[in-house]
Amino acid sequence: MDTPERSKIGGTPVSKFEDSPVFNFINSLSPIQPVKSVDSVHSVQSYLPSVSSIFASPHANPQRESRFLIRNSSSDFSKDESSSDNVDESNLCTGVLNAVRLSRCTVIARESCSIICSLNEATVDPPDECSTLPSNVPQPEQYNSGSPNHNTTPWYGIKMDVKLDIDHAPVELVPFVQNGLDKRKSLLASESEFLENYPLEQNKDEVVGCNWVNLIPDNADGLLSFDSNNESEACKGPSEELGDSSKPAEGLDNSHKTQLDESFGPCVKNAAGDPPVICSAENGKEDETDHTLQILSGTCQKQVLLSDQTQKMANGTSDQIQSGHKVDSQQQRGMRRRCLVFDMAGISKKNLQNNSYHHSSSSSLSDEKMASDDKCSRPGTSQAPCVLPGIGLHLNTLATTSKERPGTKEMLASGKELISMPCPVGPFGPTTSGWKGKSLAVEKDASSTGNEVQNLHIMHDDASQSPVLGNGEELNQVSPKKKRRKSENGVESEACKRCNCKKSKCLKLYCECFAAGVYCSEPCSCQGCFNKLIHVETVLATRKQIESRNPLAFAPKVIRTSETGQEMGEDANKTPASARHKRGCNCKKSSCLKKYCECYQGGVGCSISCRCEGCKNAFGRKEGIVPIGAEEIDQGEDKTDHCERDKDKPDDDGQQHASVQIDDNHSSEGVLSVTPLETCRPSVKLSFFSSAKPPRSSTLSVGLSPWLYTSQPFRKSEIPLLHHKLEKHVNNVLEDDTPDALRCDASPSNGVKTASPNRKRVSPPHNGIELLPSCKGGRKVILKSIPSFPSLTGDVSEDYP
C-alpha cells in the first residue's frame, strides 16, 4: 500500500507523513476522535487562512476558503460525529466509512500543515505563485499539479492542496487510518467496505497514476495524485453520502467509478463529462456537484455559480455533506481550473485507460480516433510521452476529444459538456481569438471555483468561444467556412477552431488554431499542417519563436474583465465595452463593423489603442468608448494625455464602467493576492491578467496557452530568475502591451510593479485627472496601487499621472 501511494504522492509527502508525528498520531487516534480531528481541522483552518491570505488570488475566493474551512471544520466534524454515531447503526459501513474518511480528512488536514506545505512547496509555492510550482516538479507535474498555477493555480494549489491533501490523505493515509481503526477495532466492519473503497481509491490512483505515469515522472505522480485526490474528495463526499444513504454495493461501485472519474478531476469531468453522470447516479450530492458541472458545461458559468449558490443556500442549512458538496463542487471547479492544465492529461489518461494505457494515443486510439486523428493529433491522444504538448492543448483536446470520440464513453460527452460549458453566454458568441476562448474556458473553470461571479464573467468571454466546440461541429466536419459561419450565426464560436491554412503550415498566427494554442483537428481543412501533436516539438519551437518576438502573441486578443460584469452589474453586461482588444484594431474599410475587425469580432468596442478609421464599432467606438484597454494603453503612452482624455470622455458610462471594472478586478485581485512575495507577481498577474495581457511568463501563461506551459516550466530554483524575468517581462509587457493605465502604475515603480491590493484600494485619492466620477478611481486606483507596492520595488512613491 505504502509504495504505490508514495509513488503516487511523489514520495516526499508520504514519507514525511509516515515519519511525521502526524502519522503516529493518526495511528494512535481513537476511532472517536472527531474532536481531535476537529482540533486538527481548526489548526488547519487557522493555517488555511494564512495560506489563503497569502495565496489569495483573484481567482481564489475567500468564499472558497471559507467553504473549505467550513467543510473541514463543520462538515468534517459533523461527519465525524455522525459517523461515530452511525457506527452502531446498520449504517456502520457508511458511518465507518465516513468516520474513516473524516479521520482521513482530519488527518489530512493535520498533514496538510506538513504535507501540504511540502506539497505546496514542492508542487506549488503558494506564495510564489505559479512560477514556483514548476520549480521542483517536472513540467508534466506542473501541469498536473495545477500547472495553471499562474494566478489561479497557486491559490488552488494552496486551497486545492488542502483539499488535495485531504483527498490524498484518504488514499495514502487511508491505510494508516485503517490501521489505526483496526487497532481501534471499531472499524472492523467498515473495513471491508473501506477496503473496497480503498481499492477504488487505489484504482483512482492507478488511473491517475497510470495516465500520469505515462506523462509524468514518478515524482510527478504525487502531484497528480493530489489532484486526483482532490477530485476524489469530491467523490468522497458523495461516497460518504452513499454511506449515509446506505446505498448498496453498487453505490460503492459507482462511488468508485465516480471517484475514479473524479480522481481525474473535474478536469476529466469537464473534459470528459462522464463523471457527472456517474456522480449523479451515485450521489445526490455529487449529483448536485455534477449538475453544477453539467450546468456549467451545458449552460454557463453563471449557472454554475447559481447552482453553487443554490447549493450553498440549500446546503447552508447544515449538512456537512452539503457543505462538502459545495466544497466538492468548488473543488471540482478548482479542479477545472487545473483542468486547464490537466484537462488534457485527464483526458489522455482516460483515453489511455480506455486504450489500455497505451502511451501512444494514436496507436492506442480506437480506429475512430485514428480516423479522426488523421488531420491532427489530439491532445487527448497525445498524452503519452510528450505529455506536455498534449496538456497544453487541452482546449483543443477537449474539443477534439468530444469530436474524436463521440462514441467513446462519456469522456467525449463530458468533453463536449465541458466545452459547452463556456457556452455562448456572452452577447458575442464568438470572441475573436479562439485562443482566448480556450484559455478562458479554463480560467472560467478556475474562476468559477474561486471567484464565482467574477470568474464567471471571464468565463463567459471564453465561453462564448468554447461553446462552439461543444456545439457542434464536432463530428460533422463541414467546410471550415460553414463551421465558421455556424459559429458566427450560432453560439458556436471559435472554441472549435478550424483553420484553412494552406501556406502557413498552421505554424503562424495566421492559423487560428495555432494562435489559439490548439492543435489542428479534423474539422480543419488545413494543408501541410504541422500544428499537430506529432509535431509538438516544431509547434513549440515555433511558438517560442513567435513569443520571443511578441510575448503576448498568444495572449487573448480580447480581454474582458471578469469582475466588470459583476461590479458593473447589468450595465457591465450591457456594455461589451468592458472588454477591450489587446492591441486594438487597424481597420480602415470595414468601419469596425465586420469581423475583419478584431475588436468587433471579439465583441468589444474599439479603444484608444485602436487605429481604426471611421470606426463605427457597435460595441463601442474608439472615440466614444475608451475601452479599458485603450485607456490603459493610452495611459501608458500618454499618461497625462490619457488622463485628460478620460476626463474628456467621462461620458461613456461604458468606458467608465469598464475602467471601473478593471480597476475593481485589479483591486479585488490585488487585495486577494496580497502576499508580500506575491505582491510582485500578483501585481503582475493582475496587470496582465486583468488587463488581459497575457501573462506570458510563467505565472500568467498557465491559463493561457497550453503550449506556454510546456515551453515555460519553472522551477523553484528558477523562481528568483522568474521573478527577475517576470519583472522584466512585466515591464516589457507593460511597456509593450500592457495598458497604459497599468503602465502608469507600473512605470513609476520601475522595479517591480508589485501592487499591493491594499494600496490599490487604498489609494483613493487620485489626481484630479484620473478621476472621472464614473471611474470610481477604479483604474487609476489600481494603477496607483500597483506601483504603490513599496515592498517589492520600494517604489513607494508612485506617481499618478
Partner DNA sequence: GAGTTTGAAACT
Partner DNA sequence: CAGTTTCAAACTC
Q: How many whole angstroms separate alpha carbon 210 and alpha carbon 357? A: 7
Tell whether residue 728 is a contact of DNA (CB under 7 A): no
Helix (H, G, I), strand (E, B) or coil at 717: coil
Beta carbon of residue 136, minimum distance to DNA (angstroms, whole number): 34
Nearest to 542 by CA among 511, 521, 498: 511
For residue 684, the tally of other CB atoms under 10 A from its CB is: 36
Q: Segment near DNA (CB under 7 A), from 31-39, 180-188, 550-558, 753-761? A: 550-558
Question: Between 92-111 and 218-245, two packed helices, what is the crossing angle to 10 degrees?
Answer: 140
Comparison of 51 and 700: residue with beta carbon closer to DNA:
700
Phi–psi pair at 187, nearest 5 degrees: -100, 5
Beta carbon of residue 96, minimum distance to DNA (angstroms, whole number): 58
Beta carbon of residue 791, minimum distance to DNA (angstroms, whole number): 32
H or E segment to which residue 580 belongs: strand 579-581
Beta carbon of residue 790, minimum distance to DNA (angstroms, whole number): 31
Beta carbon of residue 548, minimum distance to DNA (angstroms, whole number): 11
Beta carbon of residue 483, minimum distance to DNA (angstroms, whole number): 9
Tell whether residue 595 is a contact of DNA (CB under 7 A): yes
- Residues 257 and 196 sit within 8 Å (Cβ to Cβ): no
- Residues 690 and 661 sit within 8 Å (Cβ to Cβ): no
Which of 15, 500, 538, 573: binder of DNA (CB under 7 A)? 500
C-alpha distances in Å from residue 146, one per residue of 132, 222, 774: 11, 12, 38
Comparison of 691 and 788: residue with beta carbon closer to DNA:
691
Question: Between 174-184 and 188-215, two packed helices, what is the crossing angle to 10 degrees?
Answer: 170
* All cell numbers assigned to 202: 487505489
Which of 367, 549, 768, 773: binder of DNA (CB under 7 A)? 549
Tell whether residue 461 is a contact of DNA (CB under 7 A): no
Beta carbon of residue 590, minimum distance to DNA (angstroms, whole number): 3
Comparison of 503 and 724: residue with beta carbon closer to DNA:
503
Beta carbon of residue 684, minimum distance to DNA (angstroms, whole number): 22
Which of 124, 597, 658, 677: binder of DNA (CB under 7 A)? 597
Tell whether residue 618 is a contact of DNA (CB under 7 A): no
Tell whether residue 585 is a contact of DNA (CB under 7 A): yes
| Strand-pair partners of 560 | 579
Which of 267, 418, 499, 719: binder of DNA (CB under 7 A)? 499
Tell whether residue 510 is a contact of DNA (CB under 7 A): yes
Comparison of 189 and 509: residue with beta carbon closer to DNA:
509
Q: Segment near DNA (CB under 7 A), from 72-80, 212-220, 475-483, 674-682? A: 475-483
Phi–psi pair at 665, nearest 5 degrees: -55, -50
- Contacting residues for 731 by C-beta, under 8 A, at least 6 apart: 746, 750, 753
Beta carbon of residue 624, minimum distance to DNA (angstroms, whole number): 18
Which of 321, 393, 501, 658: binder of DNA (CB under 7 A)? 501
The CA-based diameter of the chain, rounded to the nearest angstrom, is: 81
Which of 38, 93, 352, 546: binder of DNA (CB under 7 A)? 546
Comparison of 182 and 735: residue with beta carbon closer to DNA:
735
Sign for the pseudo-dihedral over CA of 464, 470, 471, 477: positive
Tell whether residue 588 is a contact of DNA (CB under 7 A): yes
Comparison of 597 and 625: residue with beta carbon closer to DNA:
597
Q: How many whole angstroms separate alpha carbon 108 and alpha carbon 117? A: 12
Which of 214, 504, 561, 774: binder of DNA (CB under 7 A)? 504
Q: How many whole angstroms separate alpha carbon 581 and alpha carbon 598? A: 7
- Contacting residues for 535 by C-beta, under 8 A, at least 6 apart: none
Which of 66, 596, 637, 758: binder of DNA (CB under 7 A)? 596
Beta carbon of residue 595, minimum distance to DNA (angstroms, whole number): 3
Tell whether residue 548 is a contact of DNA (CB under 7 A): no
- Residues 437 and 464 sit within 8 Å (Cβ to Cβ): yes
H or E segment to which residue 99 belongs: helix 92-111
Tell whether residue 516 is a contact of DNA (CB under 7 A): no
Q: How many whole angstroms separate alpha carbon 387 and alpha carbon 382? A: 7
| Number of chain positions touching DNA (CB under 7 A) | 39
Tell whether residue 553 is a contact of DNA (CB under 7 A): yes
Q: How many whole angstroms separate alpha carbon 103 and alpha carbon 170? A: 9
Q: Segment near DNA (CB under 7 A), from 111-119, 366-374, 511-519, 717-725? A: 511-519
Comparison of 1 and 509: residue with beta carbon closer to DNA:
509
Comparison of 588 and 724: residue with beta carbon closer to DNA:
588
Beta carbon of residue 481, minimum distance to DNA (angstroms, whole number): 6
Question: Between 34-55 and 161-168, two packed helices, what is the crossing angle to 10 degrees?
Answer: 150
Which of 46, 88, 318, 502: binder of DNA (CB under 7 A)? 502
Tell whether residue 535 is a contact of DNA (CB under 7 A): no
Tell whether residue 489 is a contact of DNA (CB under 7 A): no
* Alpha helix stretches (DSSP H) within 170-283: 174-184, 188-215, 218-245, 249-264, 266-272, 274-282
The DSSP code for 147 is G
Q: What share of the chain is helix, strand, coil (3-state, %, to 5)?
A: 70, 0, 30
Which of 511, 579, 781, 783: binder of DNA (CB under 7 A)? 511
- Residues 80 and 698 sit within 8 Å (Cβ to Cβ): no
Comparison of 444 and 484: residue with beta carbon closer to DNA:
484
Nearest to 631 by CA among 704, 690, 572: 690
Which of 24, 28, 586, 717: binder of DNA (CB under 7 A)? 586
Tell whether residue 598 is a contact of DNA (CB under 7 A): yes
Tell whether residue 24 is a contact of DNA (CB under 7 A): no
Phi-psi label, residue 777: left if phi above 0, alpha if psi -120 to 50, beta otherwise: left
Which of 35, 306, 370, 509: binder of DNA (CB under 7 A)? 509
Beta carbon of residue 639, minimum distance to DNA (angstroms, whole number): 17
The half-sphere exposure of 247 on its side-chain side, counting CA atoms within 13 A, is 17
Cα radius of gyration (the chain): 24
Residues at the site binding DNA, with contacts judged by CB under 7 A: 479-481, 484, 488, 498-506, 508-512, 515, 546, 549-550, 553, 557, 583, 585-591, 594-598, 601
